[in-house]
Amino acid sequence: MKRIVLGLLAATALSVSAFAADDKPAVIYDLGGKFDKSFNEAAFNGAEKYTADSGVKYREFEIQNEAQREQALRKFASDGNSPIVIAGFSAAAAIEKVAAEFPDTKFVIIDAVVEKPNVRSVVFNDNEGSYLVGVIAAKSSKTGTVSFIGGMDVPLIRNFACGYVGGVKATNPEAKVIQNMTGDTPAAWNDPAKGGEIAKSQMDQGSDVIFAAAGGTGIGVLQAAADADKLAIGVDSNQNGLHPGKVLTSMLKRVDVATYNAFKDAADGKFTAGVNVLGVKEAGVDYAADDNNAKLLTDDVKKAVESAKADIISGKIKVHNYNTDNACPYK
């Protein structure tokens, strides 16, 4: 009997060891780098949490140009890494090509849909989270003028802007919303100086709350608003702590959870391909409340945004998604 038990234990240890050996996750960050305090850093945080929880290390790569997306994907896949998470809609063409070449490798793309049997596509209802921070902006503005600064002018970011305008207008129909995009190339994601310049221009037009959905460029927006004693709204990661008391809130986009779940699901043998849509109901997007902005979120503001949040979850409020028709009905 003792031999049988020892044999079972040995077999179990061997299978666990083999399973761990197959657990070789990797993550590829988009332009702007993993420490952009925003989108990429959220993916990094998810990967770090997985390592902290499991003890399994991951590989990573920060692309410096467009061509490196495909190169990094192919390199990691060739080395046996799986799952491979890549952040950013711009990776769609690369992952579609490489996923076909490595059908046994699991891939995850965030912010785009790639229909392959070995690809999980994670997309967020950014419009819903942006609606919530729009409510907060409208309730907090003293001038009645708020604004939005996007990174690269693409439908994804137009969806943020549309949701934001929707939340503002639902709260204060007379409010004015100024909108600007940083540029139409990937460089727009990592230009803090230009972000600061646009923010100053908007503040000169009366804006006292600025929502930046612009990756690393947004860091310059937050800085300019803080310097002018105005309020800014962060994005993707919780950016409230960058300028405590000056960042009104942050529109949380749980890229960290998407990355963590991809790694864990693969390790647990529960990985599924297909499209995952994460909105307010799924806790995929939200607004950030912590000690850094506690004094800014008054009871009146919290009541309004929590009411809007409940109505989105129940379906009473349906926030328009710009991606469905490339249009925004909120004026």
In a shared domain, residues 132 and 31: no
Residue range 206-223: average pLDDT?
96
Q: Are residues 187 and 208 in the same domain?
A: yes
Beta bridge partners of 277: 123
The reply to whether 201 and 143 lie within a common domain is: yes
Residue 56: DSSP 8-state:
-
Are residues 50 and 193 part of one domain? Answer: no
Is the pLDDT at 38 greater than 90? The verdict is: no
Same structural domain, 38 and 139: no
**Are 225 and 318 within one domain?**
yes
> Residue 255 carries which side chain, given as an amino acid letter?
V
Residue 53 resides in a domain = yes
The CATH number assigned to the domain holding 79 equals 3.40.50.2300
What is the Cα–Cα distance from 196 to 204, expressed in whole angstroms? 12
Where residue 283 falls among pLDDT bands split at 50, 70, 90?
Answer: very high
Residues 236 and 88 in one domain: no
Identify the three-state secondary structure at position 281: coil
Give yes or no: residues 155 and 220 share one domain: yes
214 and 320 belong to one structural domain:
yes
The span from the CA of 186 to the CA of 290, in Å, is 32
Asked whether residue 66 falls in the same domain as residue 91, the answer is yes
User: Residue 193: its pLDDT value, please?
Assistant: 98
Whole-prediction pTM value? 0.87
pLDDT at 309: 98
Tell me, yes or no, whether 330 lies in a domain.
Answer: no
Domain count, the chain: 2
Mark whether 108 and 232 lie in a shared domain. Answer: no
Q: Which domain holds residue 312?
A: 126-252+284-324
Average pLDDT, the chain: 93
